[in-house]
Amino acid sequence: MTSPANPAAPRFWRDPRLPFIEARAIADGRKVTYGRHAHEHFSIGAVTNGCSYYHYGADTFEISAGTVVLMNPGDVHACNPIRNRPWSYQMLYLDTHWLTDLQHQLGFSTDQGYRPFNTPYTRDESLYNGLLELYRVLVDEHAEHLQKQSALVSYFSDVQQRLNPSEMPPREVNHKLERAAEYIREQCSQPLKLEDICLAAELSPSYLIRAFKQYYGLTPHAFLVNQRVQFARSQLRNGELIADVALAAGFADQAHLQRTFKQHFAATPGQYRDVLKPSANNPHWPPATRPLSG
């Protein structure tokens, strides 16, 4: 875990008994900036103080304390400070398979496929306070495992019921573009050429470049870099050496991974990898939060 002396440093929480979820908190986000990126998992977070910009797809929103943000897997997004104005937040990153299974159990996903949420953020007071409480339970080292499991199922069931995605029309599938994306995912550690992607997808270069960004919100190259960062993230969670991860993920060297990872994740690879579980010896964990005000 990062030093509490630096409020801008990210604080991560993970528990090997709950491998499908991790938490992150920033106490002072004024110097924490992200490049536009996407995750393969579902993300949900609460702005606990101040305000920020929330870039979601082609839109930009100004959000403030009391807001819950939601990012479907693959949604391009970024949250960044507004002219050095203070803000803080807590985030949860949830494995898509776990959430999809819960949706199916609740009857929201009859075909067992993930059903995306159609709202990028909400001011629902119950969901906001519930997220803060869930975060508190997760990082509490004295909370029993069953309590954490129960809190997770209860909260995300509530999210589904309040933000019912069942009426959202499915996005029209472009199978050729999805073949291009799958090829990039499978070959992300390799030095890809545009011609190789086009051949795999049976698309012309001009169409691929234009349509891919419209479909995914990222150019093929940006999508490739994002996949490399996600691969590096999974390796770092296993405690692999940063230099080894850099090469395995397809980066030129450790410095290249360092720069790119921080742009995408607003944290260094070392900060992300070297997470300690919260303990009674660290009174600064978790960061203090403010209650929702009227």
Q: How far apart are CA 193 and CA 32, in angstroms?
A: 33
Instruction: Please classify residue 96 by burial: count the beta carbons closer than 10 Å to its beta carbon, then call 0-12 exposed, 13-18 middle and 19+ buried.
Output: middle
Asked if 16 and 152 sit in the same domain, the reply is yes
Asked if 33 and 150 sit in the same domain, the reply is yes
CATH code (residue 75) = 2.60.120.280
Q: Is residue 209 assigned to a domain? A: yes
- Number of domain units in the chain: 2
**Tokens read off for 234:** 């999974």
Asked if 144 and 254 sit in the same domain, the reply is no
Cβ neighbour number for residue 13 with a 10 Å cutoff:
23
Q: Is residue 6 assigned to a domain? A: no
Domain boundary residue, one of 107, 139, 162: 162
pLDDT > 90 in the chain, percent: 54
| Model pLDDT, residue 3 | 41
Q: How far apart are CA 155 and CA 70, in angstroms?
A: 14
pLDDT tens digit string along 4-13?
Answer: 457 668 899 9
Q: Are 149 and 173 in contact (CB under 8 A)?
A: no
Mean pLDDT calculated for residue range 49-66: 94
Q: Three-class SS of residue 55?
A: strand
Stronger pLDDT, 241 or 106, i.e. the higher one: 241
Asked if 72 and 36 sit in the same domain, the reply is yes
Inform me whether the pLDDT recorded for 167 exceeds 70.
Answer: no
| Model pLDDT, residue 171 | 62
CATH code (residue 240) = 1.10.10.60
Find the domain containing 244 and state its range. 175-273
For the full predicted model, state whether its pTM sits above 0.75. no
The chain-wide mean pLDDT, for the chain, equals: 85
Q: Is residue 24 assigned to a domain? A: yes
User: Rounded to the nearest 5°, which phi and psi values hold at 288?
Assistant: -65, 145
Asked if 42 and 115 sit in the same domain, the reply is yes
